[in-house]
Amino acid sequence: MNMRESLLSAIDSLRANKLRAVLTMLGVIIGVTAVIALLSIGNGVRSSINSEISAIGTNLIMISTNTRNSDGYATLSLSDVGALSDPLRAPDVEQIAASVQTSAAVTAGSNSARPSIMGVTANYFMINNLDEFEAGDGLTQTDIDTRARVAVLGLGLAGDLFPDSYPVGQVVKIAGTSYEVVGVLTASGGGFSNTDDSLYVPISTAQNRLSNSRTRSGERAVSSIIATSASAERNTAALEQIAEVLRQEHHIVYADDDDFSLISQTDLLDTFNQITGMLTAFLGAIAGISLVVGGIGIMNIMLVSVTERTREIGIRKAVGALRRDILTQFLIESIVLSLTGGLIGIFLGWLISWGAGNLIGLSAPLDVMTVLMAVGFAVGVGIVFGLYPAWRAAGLRPIEALRYE
């Protein structure tokens, strides 16, 4: 008995009992739908957040004060930045930027706001992917060197302070002192800090005029240092070099802990991926349980079907069907059931993840692996749960099967 005949006869016998076939498939349909929808949405969420993080740069390393080991002082200063810029001491560090964060009242004419004020180095914008400007430009090295009283505004802040006029070239007052607006950032895509409502001034200006924070030894402090490694592969090496340089600079002895902390973007990404991956797998496993339940449904109906068709099996055997022929016939029937259910489930799952993706505004694409896995799982369910009924059918003795009423 060839495959084509088995397939046709399987479809025939399922068509003869349409309602039953659909009800039987329902278990597999629901299981596969749930697996597909959950995995797709899970992957969609993950890839959307991943791309957001990656947009900032995967080779970013953030250095900040470790408040547990600093006795309340800030520990980082511009001399640390200088030391880390030395290619002999930290060869895998490519770029390095620093910022001083503070807050003050800002006014422009009758409009006022209290934004987060960042004193930054000139390359800060580029490292943070903030180097696109709605108007004007960023800060220059000359601005830094001369402690220029110039400011770059986030787009939202610019709208608050200059609702009706072009901001570049105008003057804002920060803590009573006048600054010239030289640039406005484009809308940011989110990220860790809200750049839309921030104001940026040269780090030297901020240290002199806006922030009093000092390190234990009296140097003017910086809030954080951002470094990039030459590539994502050099991240680990760069992290080690930074730690080594900072420990030397801060005269930390062997027994003492770091007074700074390092976070790399890849660490963050890894941790995040681990959590979402586990979550997705967990949800998928729960959905997988319903697939198993669906499989039991198939086994149940196939056993009923074998009993109902005992006479048919007897006839087939009487005219020469081998055990293998009967086994194949019933196995194919249960695979057709589960595979059809699986395909419907993939379609429904795709529909749900597409709908849900639209609803929460992310793309939840059906990836090939998930589909293959679902199809494989469905066929597997058909085989595993169809094998016993098929084996029972194949083992029927023709005399008894023919006598069966």
Binding residues for another protein (CB under 8 A): 1, 5, 12, 16, 311-312, 314-325, 397-399, 402
Copy the structure tokens of residue 314. Answer: 């007897």
Nearer to another protein, 209 or 317 (CB): 317
CB of 323 to another protein, least distance (A): 6
Is the Cβ–Cβ distance between 248 and 120 less than 8 Å?
A: no
Assign 3-class secondary structure to 24-44: HHHHHHHHHHHHHHHHHHHHH
220 closest CA partner among 234, 231, 210, 235? 210
Nearer to another protein, 306 or 344 (CB): 306
CB of 16 to another protein, least distance (A): 6
- Looking at this protein, which amino acid is placed at residue 60? L
CB of 17 to another protein, least distance (A): 11
CB of 307 to another protein, least distance (A): 15
Nearer to another protein, 50 or 307 (CB): 307
Nearer to another protein, 39 or 321 (CB): 321
Quote the crossing angle between the two packed helices 368-394 and 18-56, to the nearest 10°: 150
CB of 299 to another protein, least distance (A): 23
CB of 315 to another protein, least distance (A): 5
Nearer to another protein, 281 or 402 (CB): 402
Nearer to another protein, 285 or 322 (CB): 322
Q: How far apart are CA 40 and CA 284, in angstroms?
A: 10
Nearer to another protein, 1 or 269 (CB): 1
CB of 303 to another protein, least distance (A): 19
